[in-house]
Structure 1
C-alpha cells in the first residue's frame, strides 16, 4: 500500500470515555467538517445512548472546522466521544484516524458513516448480522434512499465496470453484476470488518476525498475478500450527481479518477487507457457545462483533469492552475472531443 502522510493525533474534547461501553463490538465513525447541522441530525437518528446499550459506540472527529463545532457536538450528545483535529485531513485521512481507534481498541467492525447520512440502530445491527453470518465477508453496506420515508431508492448495489471505466449503481434490486466486474462498497455507510482492514490497510490518503472507496474495494478484492449490499438494511443520504458537486469536490473527482483507473485497471482493459480516461472526463465536462455549471466549477474540473494526467495527489492545492492552452482546448468542444477519444 502506498505511503500515507504523517499521522497527526486528534485531541479529545469531552463526551463519552474512550473505547465506549464494555463489550462494544461496533464503532460508528463520523467526520464533521463545517457541517454541524448535518452531524447533529446524523447523531439524532443514531440515538447514541440506545447504541451504547446494544454494543455500538459512536465517535466523531471534527476534521479542522473553521469554528469550534466540536464543543457543540459534545454538549448535544454527551454519550458520543468527540475528537478535534486542527487540520482538515480529507475524508481518507480523517476516517483513518478513527479506523485506527477501532483497530487499537479491539472493535469487531467499524461503520464509516457520512455526516450527511442517517441510519438507525436497527439497520446497523442488521449489517453486523450479515458479517456474523458470513465470516468471508470483509464489508457490507445498506441500501441507499434519498428520503426518510424510504420511498425512493438510490443505490441497491454497486460495482466497477472496467470496460467503460465507470461505477455502476443500480437503484433497484435484481440487476446482476457482470462476471468481470469488481464489487464496489460505497464509502457513505459501509460496515467494515476490522480483521479485513488489518490485512489490506486503511484508506489511501493520497486520494484525500473521492475514489478512496473504489481503491479500498479493489484492494479487498485483490486479497480475495468479498463485500456485498444488505437489502434488509437501509439508510438515507442526499446523493449528489456530478453537476451538483462543489468546485473543490469536482477538482478531486476529476483528479482522483486518473489515479484509481491507472493503478487498478486489469491488463485486459488497459489498452488506450489514457485516451479513454481523457475522453470520459471530457464527456463529464460537457455534462457539467450543459447543466449550467459556472466558470469556477468548470475550471475546477478542468484543473483536476490536468493534475490527474500529471499524477498529482494528496491535499488539493489552494489555487490549482492548469495551462491556458489546456483550459481553452477542454472548453472548446468537450462533447465532440470526448466522443472522439472514447
Structure 2
C-alpha cells in the first residue's frame, strides 16, 4: 500500500511550461497526502525528460504514442489501482490549484460514502473571478450536456455543494473502489465526452456525483485543441472527436421515447455548424464534421473492460485531421 491516499494523474503532451507550473501549484497547495503520477503521452520534444528532471517528486509513466485523454489517464489509473491508492484525482495539466483544494475534496468523500466522485469549483485562469464550471448537467429531452456558471461571475447559487449529472475530467476526484466496479475510460473515445460516459456509468451503479465549491482551481482551458502560435484557432480534430463522441453518447444513453427531440435538436446543431464552415470556407473543419457524422453513426462506445489502453495511431491522425 502507498503511504499517500491520493494519486494525482496529470497528462502531458509537448511543451514544458504549462505542465511545469501546474506541478508547482500542486507543491504549493498546502496539501501533502498525494503522489503525482505524470503521464508523458507521446511527447517528442524532450519536455517529458525536462519535467522528470525538474520534478523528482513525480512518478513518470510514458506512452510511445499519443493515446488521447482516455488512454493517457487509463495508463495512470491502472498504475494507481495496482499500487493500491484509495482515491485518484484526474487533473488537467493546464490548471493551477488553490490552497487546500485537495483536502476539501477528500473530506467531502470521507463524509459522504454514497458519493463516488467530486469536482471543485473551476474558474478561468485568465480571469480568476469568471467561472468555467460550477457543476455539469444533462438535458435528456434535447440530449445536450451543459456546464452551470460558464462565463459567469460567482454568485450565491454557485456556493453550495450539490449533486451533479456528470463531472468534468478537468478535475475529478474518484474512489478507486468504484473504478474497480465500473471500469476505466472507454479507450476508443480518445478525447471529449469520456468523462460524461464514465459519470453516467457511475450513476447507473447507484452512486452520487457532487460539486464541492469550497475547493477551487483555475483552468487555462482549451490549450490542447488550438494550433501552436494561434490561440483562437481550434483544430479540425476537436470538432471530429466532439461530434463523433456526442453521437455515440446519444446512441448509448438516449431513451427511445426521447429520440425525436434528441435527433431534431442535435441534427439542427450539426447542420448549422456545417453551414457555418461552408460559408466561411473552412473546408478541413467541414470535412471533420462529415467524418464525425459517418463514424458516429456506424461506431459505438467501447466496453472498457479487458481492453488494451494503447493505440498505434489516433483516428484523427489516420484521417489527416491533425
Q: What is the TM-score normalised by the length of structure 2?
A: 0.82
The answer (yes or no) to whether the contact 2:126–2:220 under 8 Å persists in 1 is no
Distance 2:127 2:193 in 1: 29
The answer for the alignment partner of 1:136 in structure 2 is 114
Kept in 2: contact 1:182–1:218 (CA 8 A) = no
Can you list the C-alpha shifts for 1:246-304, whole angstroms capped at 9, x where unaligned?
A: 221111111111111101112342346545433232234456678x5833233323322
**Gap change, CA 1:131 and 1:298, over 3 Å in 2:** same
Return the match for 2:267 from 278, 283, 296. 278
Gaps of at least 5 residues in structure 2 are 226-231, 303-313
| Matching residue of 2:48 | 70
2:286 alignment partner in structure 1:
298
Structure 1 residues 131-158: Cα deviation after superposition (integer angstroms, max 9, x where no partner): 0110111000011101366311121111
Point out the more displaced range, 299-308 or 199-208.
Answer: 299-308
Q: Distance in 2 between matches of 1:233 and 1:182?
A: 16
Moved more, 86-95 or 40-49: 40-49
1:118-157 matches, within 5 Å, as 118-120=96-98, 122-147=100-125, 150-157=128-135
In 1: Cα distance, 2:233 partner to 2:200 partner? 27
Matched, 1:98 2:89: no
Match of 1:307 in 2: 295
Q: 1:122 to 1:293 in 2, by over 3 A?
A: farther
Tell me which residue corresponds to 1:45. 25
* Gapped regions of structure 1 (runs ≥ 5): 1-18, 176-180, 323-342
**Which residue matches 1:165?**
143
- Match for residue 38 of structure 2 among 35, 39, 60: 60
Q: Secondary structure of the equivalent of 2:35?
A: strand
Shift in Å, 1:125 = 1.1
Separation in 2 of the partners of 1:285 and 1:132?
47
Match of 2:199 in 1: 217
- 2:107 counterpart SS class: helix
> Once superposed, what is the RMSD of the aligned Cα atoms?
2.8
Residues 138 and 193, structure 1, Cα contact 8 Å, conserved in 2: yes
Aligned to 1:27: 7
Partner of 2:258: 269
Structure 1 residue 312 displacement after superposition = 6.6
Q: Is the 8 A contact 1:92 1:209 kept in 2?
A: yes
CA distance in 2, matches of 1:313, 1:251: 15
Cα distance in 2 for residues equivalent to 1:45 and 1:287: 40
Contact 1:70–1:83 (Cα < 8 Å) also in 2:
no
Moved more, 310-319 or 228-237: 310-319
Larger displacement relative to structure 2 (114-123 or 189-198): 114-123
Q: Distance in 1 between matches of 2:216 and 2:164?
A: 22
Q: Which piece of structure 1 moves more, 270-279 or 191-200?
A: 270-279
CA distance in 1 between partners of 2:135 and 2:286 (Å): 30
Are the counterparts in 2 of residues 47 and 121 from structure 1 also a CA contact under 8 Å?
Answer: no
Tell me if structure 2 keeps the 8 A contact 1:156–1:170.
yes
Structure with the greater relative contact order (CA < 8 A, sep ≥ 6): 1 or 2?
2
